[in-house]
Amino acid sequence: MKIVYLGNFNNTNSDSTEKHISFAFKELGHEVIEIPEITERDGEPISEFTHKEIVEATRDADLFFFHQGCVREEKTFQRLINVLAEVTCPKVFWFFDKIWQQREMILDIIIPFCDWAFMTDGTWRKSRGFKNTTWLMQGIGNKDTSLGTPRDEYKCDVAFTGSEQSNWLPYREKFIAELKKKYGDKFKVFSKVFNRDFSDLCQSAKILVAPKEPQDNFYWSSRIYITLGSGGFMLHPKFEGLKDEFTEGKHFAGYKDFKDMTDKIDYYLEHEKKRKQIQKEGYEYCIANYTYKHRVEKILAVLKENKIL
């Protein structure tokens, strides 16, 4: 099958999820034509995808596949709508992240142009009446799932990975500040750590923590899959839907609120043997069930079941 894939392939500042998904498609025997949403040079955008290149590439394709990165700005969003109106092969997208505010408007417009839509926000999906949608969480890349190597610069009792400041996530700053206040130098924040470096971090930091917001019972970020799939010990908020993915206390440690989180941190720092057992089982379970190869197989199965492919 020939797949034209519009994605964030040229982002030099992240572990590109699209590269993992593209690899999974190829590993399953499909031809993938990768088209970058934005081409960058020295971290600065120099060009964006064009209407013409998408339409021409999809003339003899079996599937046009894309994500949300290309619809963040109004001009790019309109360009995508024009493309979707002209592309004749099946059109499928997988929307990551929480769907709120302007994103709701964007998806309400895009979904009717597509044959099928996958999304990680199960709460939003349930609130809408679209029949051509499936709730599908993210995963871990399957190109290299080997464990990392401990490194001194990543060693700490408690770690948070991600941006320390964010204009649209003010509660993250409070979350980090409270952990710094309680644990001092035992707590560290690491930003822009990806790929094998992240695997090394997971073997160096004793506990990696995830904040509660903006997640809910049927939406959480890819953090838990990336952390467990890289061999880290994850302390993550408890959510109803997460019970279908992992077993709390066996694959990860769960918490209800900030006090419960710090109680769990103190407990698992003291009980190393139990922590390492959960860490081992979480890693093995994640790579056995939630690599992007597993996710792509699910996508293809849904499309075949609904006679789109």
pLDDT in tens, 233-262: 999 999 999 999 999 999 999 999 999 999
The CATH architecture assigned to 2-140+292-305 reads 3-Layer(aba) Sandwich (3.40)
Average pLDDT over residues 23-39: 91
Chain region(s) in the chain for CATH 3.40.50.2000: 2-140+292-305, 152-289
* pLDDT for residue 168: 58
The pTM score is 0.93
pLDDT digits (tens, 9 = 90+) for 174-226: 999 999 999 999 999 999 999 999 999 999 999 999 999 889 999 999 999 99
Q: Which fold has domain 152-289?
A: Rossmann fold (3.40.50)
pLDDT digits (tens, 9 = 90+) for 57-104: 999 999 999 986 555 555 667 788 888 999 999 999 999 989 988 888
Go through the chain and tell me how many residues it has.
309
Q: For residue 212, give Cα distances in angstroms to 152, 239, 265, 296.
A: 28, 10, 15, 28
